[in-house]
Structure 1
Amino acid sequence: MRSSLLTRAIRLATLAAVAAPASVFAGGFSLNEQSASAMGVANAGAVANPENATTVMFNPAGMSQLKGTNISFGAAVLDIKAEAKSASATNTLGGPVSGGTGGDIADPAFLPNLYLTHQVNDSIDVGLGIHAPYGLAADYENDFVGRYFADKTELTVISFSPAVSVNNGQGLSMGIGLNVMYAEGRLTKYQDIRGALVQQVGPAQAGPLADAYEAQFGTPYADIEGDDIAVTFRAGFLYELSPRTQFGLTAQTGTEFELKGDVEISNFPAPSAQSPIGIAPTTLTEDVRVPLAIPESITLGARHQLNDSFTLLAGASYSRWSRFEELDIISREGGAGQVSSVTGSEIITHITEKWKNTWQFNVGSIWQVTPEWALKAGYAWDESPVDNYLTARIPSSDRHWLTLGGQWKSANNGWAVDAAVGTLLFTDDPKVDEYSYLHAVPSQKDPSAGASNYKGEYELSAWSASLQVSKAF
């Protein structure tokens, strides 16, 4: 992975050391936990309900309804249980792979955020957000039967989001913003050497030789790391139809990270006259890149205040996840590196994804119990983008998101505290039936992978909690 003064400064400035990547498994690798005040209503109508400085992220046009200077900061905890109830695999030669189901592959994640807005004059507001819009993490136990397909999968994205808004003084506001995102990624898995050994010693001897090699030296292990910076643009509109009703709309462009780093394959077998089995381990390295698509999205929201005590919120989001067609590790050495010269291709590893575009629908309500205290509740239906090619790296299904929240707001000094909790109910136990496919024909199985296959059925559940402090100056 690249190491430079720029990337080190970004890591320090964004507290990346404590912002562990999150496992999401639905809605792609987007993270919903960006604001406790919005999480209390499952993000329903967040683009039309600028309660505090978090509107920088949801809809920059909402800054026009905040007076003076505003700051919001907080953090969320996301804990997903993702474990295979059953799992089995075959190696390249069709033999069974020994091992277990991989254990709980998702650890709790801590997601901090910080937002700031400032009213320049009656028509212009500016703001800045620092948050984690995307993240993913999965880590199987070492004896996982599907270890030839997946071991560790990590993605951490931190965004710096400056924004500006203008309003016409008659209920219409417009805002634009940038998301300057720094991403780090890591992919690891164990390597099945049986297919390569067939070319050297034939199919009858390849299996026993591979077993002997793994028993003596350990299984070859591939570790790919990379990082990159990318930018997306966001535009938002907010229209106040009446003092009780308003609508919001935001649209965000897509982009593609080029995660540049290196691949290291340890314990890779090489001919050796000194080895009793004729081969001994060596380490291969090569500079690589991993393209990673980030989708365009559009979000519509509405807020309607029924009376002084009750407010209703609703929203819908559409994301173009079909941009994410494949996950490839590509040589940056023109196919002449230590690894690509062995694989015989500039595409070192190919995983067919072919995700689909998705919707998220959410509704929520706020009950203003007293001038200081409010209670919130929300529900969201989140569609999974994973369609035909479900993989061990991202077992996924549609989910329901149920949330409860509370807010205390001082009428005198501008302080406010939000807290929210949520639970995720997945609609199905996802079933993985994974093969290796050709890069040139993504729907066709790769003949060089032989009979290699992984099957697993997963049980998913999750909860989240968030706390936020806001202050208006």
Structure 2
Amino acid sequence: MHKNTNVLVKAIRFATLAAVAAPASVMAGGFSLNEQSASQMGVANAGAAANPENATTVFFNPAGMSQLSGTNISFGAAILDIDAEAKSASAKNQLGGDVSGSTGGDIADAAVLPNFYLTHEINDSIDVGFGIHAPYGLAADYDDDFVGRYFADKTELTVISFSPAISINNGKGLSMGLGLNVMYAEGRLTKFQDYSGAYGRWQKGYNDIGAITAPAPPSAIGVPDPSSVNGFDQGYADIEGDDIAVNFRIGFLYELSEKTQIGLSAQTPTRFDLEGDAKVSNIPDTTVVTLPGVGDQVFPTGAQSTQTEKVKVPLEIPESLTVGLRHQIADDWTVLAGATYARWGRFEELDINSREGASGDVSSATGRTGDTPITHITEEWKNTWQFNVGGIWQATPEWAFKAGYAFDESPVDQYLTARIPSEDRHWLTLGAQWNDVASGWTVDAAVGTLIFADDVKVNEFQYLHDAPSKKDPSAGASNYTGEYELSAWSAAIEVSKAF
């Protein structure tokens, strides 16, 4: 008994440390990650809410724990490698000039996603379980000379969930389950800063004042001369934050017959408020000059400095509803189907809000007033569907082979951005399972390929918060256009043990 307990403790520690260290993935359905289990990945997650093969049911439908006997563990990892690169890209700065640079390179590195699940039968009616997994994630990183660097550089989100669960069955084919997801999230957003517009406004202001004060030069009344500065150096904004949030998963599983059962799993919404710091470099310093007949006016001094401020980034996690069906059409053949509806329409904007008010250093330097965000990106995602079908062939008592297909709808609609160049995708998977009934050990392996429905075309502007036109007039002609080619493959392995 002590030996098995030590194995479980080591497995939990391994899964926790690996999950914290793992990079997140990019271009999933929203920022959800489908790669939670090799056994379910083999059928593209088809019918996962109605097919509790092992302890991974803690994630897919906690009600499924009622169909597992004794104590069960499942642990493994998936790798997701996405090739996401702009085939063409161009950008304009705030003055309408061409931004020089490259198409940004391959922005998505391979991601490793570990997981660990445990279930235990308390008695004939009650089961409990626990899981550690990464349900959400994003990662994109452009080359530093990317032409769209004033819109995006690094985008990182890693979410780790600690998920206790309980299930109850009535002994007549109906089971109910409840899971709690305690999620820790950390994120990072970076981009280069375009100060060409500030320099242009400085030049225009200087010339306008020159016309008013002629023949005396504006410098005679303390207005700095921009001719002594050859433009402003570009800056860099780096925002980091973390938070803990909680949501719930409710599940039902009903056996229609010995060969058919249906499952339902619903997740509640929640919101992260990622709190951290914003650091912005090379912000143009300013001075106040009193102009005759005009009053106090703000002008750059020609110097630049780095400022920091405490910030908060709200991030909505949507509610979702999953239905699954499993039907055994013969002793050695099982078919599965499922669908998931996710309310990604909750994700309307990506804002960087100050926790210091208008007196914060970055807010003061950039002239932010009131409750407006320091930075705003319009998202306005839409609600989505995912549809899955799959099959399992039990070739021998030890060996089973699987295949699956899923259509995953992208939530990104009108406002495609360089940070999340997403598109609808098709997911094709194959899997194999080896099961030693005598020892209780099972090994699953799966591979998959992601085929994106079309190339992604981004036409991004700087946007305003709560503005009818959305476009920010102070950003001038700033614009980024790019066309992306996306492809990906995934693989996973999982080891399960029934005690």
Tell me the TM-score normalised to structure 1 length: 0.93
Q: Deviations over 1:97-156 (max 9, x none)?
A: 000100000000010000000000000000000000000000000000000000000000
Which amino acid in 1 is paired with 2:267?
Q
- Structure 2 CA distance for aligned equivalents of residues 17 and 50 of structure 1: 27
Which amino acid in 2 is paired with 1:340?
S
Q: Is the 8 A contact 1:14 1:130 kept in 2?
A: no
Q: Tell me if 1:344 matches 2:355.
A: no
| Residue 231 of structure 1: aligned partner | 246
| Residue 88 of structure 2: aligned partner | 86
| Residue 300 of structure 1: aligned partner | 323
Q: Highest Rg: 1 or 2? A: 2
Q: Is the 8 A contact 1:406 1:419 kept in 2?
A: yes
- Structure 1 CA distance for aligned equivalents of residues 189 and 46 of structure 2: 34
Shift of 1:411: 1.5
Q: Deviations over 1:310-330 (max 9, x none)?
A: 000000000000000000000
Q: Tell me if 1:102 matches 2:126.
A: no
Q: Deviations over 1:165-195 (max 9, x none)?
A: 0000010000001110000000000001122
Q: Deviations over 1:404-451 (max 9, x none)?
A: 000000010100000000000000101000011210226421111110
- Structure 2 CA distance for aligned equivalents of residues 392 and 210 of structure 1: 31
- Structure 1 CA distance for aligned equivalents of residues 228 and 457 of structure 2: 33
Q: Relative to 1, partners in 2 of residues 1:210 and 1:39: Cα closer, same or farther, differing over 3 Å?
A: farther
Tell me the TM-score normalised to structure 2 length: 0.88
Within-5 A mapping of 1:64-79: 64-79=66-81
Percent of aligned pairs sharing the same letter = 71
The more displaced of 262-271 and 84-93 is 262-271
| Residue 447 of structure 2: aligned partner | 421
Which amino acid in 2 is paired with 1:21?
A
2:374 match: secondary structure: strand
Correspondence for 2:339 among 298, 316, 321 = 316
- Structure 2 CA distance for aligned equivalents of residues 192 and 210 of structure 1: 16
- Structure 1 CA distance for aligned equivalents of residues 15 and 363 of structure 2: 35
| Residue 488 of structure 2: aligned partner | 462
Within-5 A mapping of 1:117-132: 117-132=119-134
Within-5 A mapping of 1:332-411: 332-341=355-364, 342-345=366-369, 346=371, 347-411=373-437
Within-5 A mapping of 1:265-276: 265-270=280-285
| Residue 59 of structure 2: aligned partner | 57
1:15 match: secondary structure: helix
1:133 match: secondary structure: strand
Q: Is the 8 A contact 2:19 2:113 kept in 1?
A: no
| Residue 255 of structure 1: aligned partner | 270
1:196 match: secondary structure: helix
Q: Relative to 1, partners in 2 of residues 1:336 and 1:321: Cα closer, same or farther, differing over 3 Å?
A: same
Q: Relative to 1, partners in 2 of residues 1:95 and 1:313: Cα closer, same or farther, differing over 3 Å?
A: same
Q: Is the 8 A contact 2:148 2:480 kept in 1?
A: yes
2:149 match: secondary structure: coil
2:465 match: secondary structure: coil
- Structure 1 CA distance for aligned equivalents of residues 205 and 460 of structure 2: 23
Q: Which runs of 5+ in 2 are unaligned?
A: 1-12, 208-224, 288-299
Shift of 1:268: 2.4
Q: Tell me if 1:22 matches 2:22.
A: no
Q: Is the 8 A contact 1:326 1:354 kept in 2?
A: yes
Which amino acid in 1 is paired with 2:307?
L
| Residue 7 of structure 1: aligned partner | none
Q: Is the 8 A contact 1:301 1:315 kept in 2?
A: yes
- Structure 1 CA distance for aligned equivalents of residues 226 and 392 of structure 2: 63
Which amino acid in 1 is paired with 2:464?
L
Correspondence for 1:325 among 336, 340, 348 = 348
Q: Is the 8 A contact 1:352 1:442 kept in 2?
A: no
Q: Relative to 1, partners in 2 of residues 1:11 and 1:448: Cα closer, same or farther, differing over 3 Å?
A: farther
The more displaced of 63-72 and 345-354 is 345-354
- Structure 2 CA distance for aligned equivalents of residues 443 and 385 of structure 1: 21
Q: Deviations over 1:63-119 (max 9, x none)?
A: 000000000000000000000000000000111100010000000001000000000
| Residue 138 of structure 2: aligned partner | 136
| Residue 282 of structure 1: aligned partner | 305
- Structure 2 CA distance for aligned equivalents of residues 91 and 297 of structure 1: 40
1:153 match: secondary structure: strand
Q: Relative to 1, partners in 2 of residues 1:246 and 1:434: Cα closer, same or farther, differing over 3 Å?
A: same
| Residue 195 of structure 2: aligned partner | 193
Equivalenced residue count is 456
Within-5 A mapping of 1:172-187: 172-187=174-189
Q: Is the 8 A contact 1:26 1:385 kept in 2?
A: no
- Structure 1 CA distance for aligned equivalents of residues 416 and 229 of structure 2: 28
Q: Is the 8 A contact 1:11 1:17 kept in 2?
A: no
- Structure 2 CA distance for aligned equivalents of residues 204 and 321 of structure 1: 47
- Structure 1 CA distance for aligned equivalents of residues 226 and 479 of structure 2: 16
Q: Deviations over 1:383-422 (max 9, x none)?
A: 0000000000000100000000000000101000000000
Within-5 A mapping of 1:27-38: 27-38=29-40
